Structure 1
Amino acid sequence: MCRNKLWIMTSDPTAMSRLCDAVALRLEHEDPDLTARIRVELPSYEHLPELEHRRTVHDLTRRMLASIASGQGPIAEHLQFTRRSALRRTQLGVSAYDVLGSFHIVRREVWAALRSAPEATDELLLRLVEPLGRWTEAMSTAVVDAFVADAPGTAVQHAELRQRFLSELGDRSLGEQVIESARALAFDVEGRFQAFCAARAAWPRPEVENLQRATRRLSGVVHCGVRGDVMIAIAQDCDPVLVVRTVHGIAGDRSAVGIGLPRRGLEGAHLSIVDAERALRTARLWNEPSVRFSDSWLEATLLDSRSRLMPILADIQQAQRDHPDLAAAVLAFADCGFSLADAARRLNVHPNTMGYRLTRWQELTGADPRTFAGLVRSVIGCRSAPR
């Protein structure tokens, strides 16, 4: 039978599905614990964060069993997943021998789980031998491809690839080229991306490379480079707190970082960089070590219109400089659900004092914080001013 044809021809396809689904469920509950067995038998896997390792092992076994249950072999998506996972392991120092060995451990343990499942029959097991073997063969080939691509001497090419990816991102005329670059960097082109930006002046090339090496200790995939006047790190499946902590570990705790929204797909990656660049401007304006676009989206978006809005906001910002206690009262009133009592408790003053301060603010600025228009103008004016 042709290799691209169905592998499994059984008189009861639902029986095969029941068997594979039952074993997949057991493995999801770590029975047996495939990840633990790999880490015990293959020492170099200690370089790969355990949570990331568990996620990829679960994903692999789920994809494999679902494919076998449906009578199909590995498809391009499965092979891409394997190459991406193998490339990530090469970057962390896991040996090629151990990556190949891990697939044989998975095959061995999955076969043992299939044999011991109550749903198993001799007929079903016999028909599973060939597809399991071909899965192992296909995965091994994908691993070898990944290691050949990451052979010694390619560090410069990888740095160039990262830079090319950043320069291409957002250019719709380079669609297939950007996809190819993203996949070569072990990104899932359909996954969620999150960007982080810092001022390029603080990031000479050696420091960018230091950051690239440091982020390899994190789970997920992170690639760093420069574009225009910013240093950019793009992450996938990675804790943003740890990315920011790694950036600060190299550039210092007070180095401003803008954090974009997590967004799906390559278009989302481009938009997340735009988010992060705007959040970076806000972080520098506020003198904060890091600012998320999700927290500062309004102020960050309006920064581009600051000169146009200045006639509307000038009185607000002058009053904030001259009477910071009044500005603090307005912001507390907005943050506390327009409750005088709650805002007064936050500032440790009497509610009557809060009421007086809001009235006085209106007299000085012409913006009544008890109305929507007046409150929005007051908050935007205060929060778009340098701190």
Structure 2
Amino acid sequence: MTDSGRQADKSGDWSLIEALGRDIEINPSVLIKPIVDEARAAHAEAYARTSWAEHEASVRRQFRLLLKQLAQRHPPTLDDLDWARALGRTRARQGLPLEAVLGAFHHGYRGFWELVASRAESGALSRETVDLLMASLQMTSAAIANGYTDVARARDELQIDLGHQLLDALYGGRTVAEETTMLARALGFDNDGMFQAASCLVALMAPELIDQLRWRLRDHGGAQCVVVRGPMLVVLSQGIPERRIVQLLDSGDGRLAVGLGLPRSGLGGATESLLDAERALAVAQQSPEGGIVSFRSSWLLATLLPHAERLGPLLDAGKATNQPHLYEAVRAYADHGFSIAATAEALHLHPNSVKYRLDRWQQLTGWDPRTLEGAQRSLLSIALAERQPPPASATT
């Protein structure tokens, strides 16, 4: 290198970088502590799982590598990227969300950038310095993400395998077996806590959406396993609000049918909630609108629907269920306190018209909707009929 080249090395940003490096080594707490504090405040929930000292050490290492790269005018070396991948693996094992890990790392870059820029006489960095910082940011962030993903993928595969084993045990009736309790604990469940299940048809969910569901449920906290069993996607969760599960499962396009089980206690309750969810899903599937069906609100229909064929002779309303004006009057009558006046007001009919329709329903079915037994049979018959697939069109 010529004398003019050596002189150029000591001018501009490079002399600032050398001075910054010396200051960081002499008094790191003054320069690094505020940056660490701000990053931890921005991602407080995630970084509560790591110590401040460990976080500060990683930021100090990050700054040293940046200073070396800028001083030597080259992007991250293989060793630098190995350190970044190791950091990503560590954060994944600690259970931090990837978004928080990269967010805090980028916060460190921004803090470093501001330290260098604040010392520049013009307040601006040279193009070469900016290009090196941007290249370092992109390459190092990718390495962190790769290291994180390696651990997360292995963890997900283990979680899925354990989830399959747990559900096999629960469906198999082995709720009190020691192996089952150990599987549940390995997945983070409290065996004496409340479990809730949800089910939907896996054919209506893209594979990437299933992975996103796992990540988002994990980020929310609590314990969960998300497993594909035959045609169904099964979610067993604990400590995650039902509304959050519904929000994540509901695609919003009107196609997805979801069944929600009742929250129940213990591993035996987990099995019952799984069955609840299956039965509620069957109701949702039969409905033309699909949507979210909770066993809590549809327990009677969900329990009877699997026995619809056996109960057919008891609940067959014949041609009456093909006359919407009749069954709508029966249903409105029940929904409005078995009051003729309230039903007439709701349907915008004369009270005599409501009476006529109830009488006509009784003539066709033999069930008087004004009595308890007649109302029960009528409403169940209507509900089951609405969820039967329409007959196939005759072909010639």
Q: TM-score range by the shorter chain?
A: 0.5 to 0.7
Residue in structure 2 matched with residue 134 of structure 1 by the alignment: none
Note if contact 2:193-2:265 (Cα within 8 Å) is conserved in structure 1.
Answer: yes
Residue in structure 1 matched with residue 313 of structure 2 by the alignment: 311
Alignment of 1:163-174 (within 5 A): 163-170=164-171, 171-172=173-174
CA shift, 1:371, in A, is 1.2
Letter in 2 for 1:324: P
Identity of aligned residues (%): 37
- What's the secondary structure of 2:250's corresponding residue? helix
Q: Is the radius of gyration larger for structure 1 or structure 2?
A: 2
Quote the Cα distance in structure 2 between the aligned partners of 1:169 and 1:338.
43
Residue in structure 1 matched with residue 95 of structure 2 by the alignment: 90
Using a 3 Å threshold, how does the CA distance of structure 1 residues 233 and 254 change in structure 2: closer, same or farther? same
Letter in 1 for 2:95: T
Using a 3 Å threshold, how does the CA distance of structure 1 residues 379 and 88 change in structure 2: closer, same or farther? farther
Quote the Cα distance in structure 1 between the aligned partners of 2:335 and 2:366.
21
Using a 3 Å threshold, how does the CA distance of structure 1 residues 373 and 280 change in structure 2: closer, same or farther? same
Using a 3 Å threshold, how does the CA distance of structure 1 residues 289 and 370 change in structure 2: closer, same or farther? same
Residue in structure 2 matched with residue 45 of structure 1 by the alignment: 44
Letter in 2 for 1:372: L
Using a 3 Å threshold, how does the CA distance of structure 1 residues 151 and 245 change in structure 2: closer, same or farther? closer
Residue in structure 1 matched with residue 195 of structure 2 by the alignment: 193
Residue in structure 2 matched with residue 350 of structure 1 by the alignment: 350
CA shift, 1:347, in A, is 1.7
Quote the Cα distance in structure 2 between the aligned partners of 1:228 and 1:44.
39
Greater RCO, CA 8 A, separation 6+ = 1
Quote the Cα distance in structure 1 between the aligned partners of 2:39 and 2:219.
20
Letter in 2 for 1:382: I
User: Cα deviation per residue 1:270-290 (whole Å; 9 max; x = unaligned)?
Assistant: 100100100000011123311
Give structure 1 regions of 4+ aligned residues with deviation exceeding 6 angstroms.
Answer: 86-89
User: Cα deviation per residue 1:100-130 (whole Å; 9 max; x = unaligned)?
Assistant: xxxxxxxxxxxxxxxxxxxxxxxxxxxxxxx
Note if contact 1:208-1:225 (Cα within 8 Å) is conserved in structure 2.
Answer: no
Quote the Cα distance in structure 2 between the aligned partners of 1:282 and 1:188.
30
Q: Report the RMSD for the aligned CA atoms in angstroms.
A: 3.1
Using a 3 Å threshold, how does the CA distance of structure 1 residues 245 and 188 change in structure 2: closer, same or farther? same
Q: TM-score if structure 2 supplies the norm length?
A: 0.59
Note if contact 2:187-2:224 (Cα within 8 Å) is conserved in structure 1.
Answer: no
CA shift, 1:264, in A, is 0.7
Decide which of 178, 182, 204 is 1:176's aligned counterpart. Answer: 178
In structure 1, stretches of 5+ residues that fail to align are: 1-37, 50-85, 99-149
User: Cα deviation per residue 1:238-285 (whole Å; 9 max; x = unaligned)?
Assistant: 221221221123x84420000111111111111001001000000111
Quote the Cα distance in structure 2 between the aligned partners of 1:89 and 1:328.
57
Using a 3 Å threshold, how does the CA distance of structure 1 residues 283 and 339 change in structure 2: closer, same or farther? same
Note if contact 1:260-1:279 (Cα within 8 Å) is conserved in structure 2.
Answer: yes
Note if contact 1:248-1:254 (Cα within 8 Å) is conserved in structure 2.
Answer: no
Alignment of 1:221-232 (within 5 A): 221-232=223-234
User: Cα deviation per residue 1:51-93 (whole Å; 9 max; x = unaligned)?
Assistant: xxxxxxxxxxxxxxxxxxxxxxxxxxxxxxxxxxx99971645
Note if contact 1:224-1:233 (Cα within 8 Å) is conserved in structure 2.
Answer: yes
Alignment of 1:313-328 (within 5 A): 313-316=315-318, 318-321=319-322, 323-328=323-328
Alignment of 1:291-310 (within 5 A): 291-310=293-312
In structure 2, stretches of 5+ residues that fail to align are: 1-36, 49-90, 105-150, 388-396
Residue in structure 2 matched with residue 160 of structure 1 by the alignment: 161
Decide which of 205, 229, 240 is 2:242's aligned counterpart. Answer: 240
Residue in structure 2 matched with residue 220 of structure 1 by the alignment: 222
Residue in structure 2 matched with residue 56 of structure 1 by the alignment: none
Note if contact 1:88-1:221 (Cα within 8 Å) is conserved in structure 2.
Answer: no
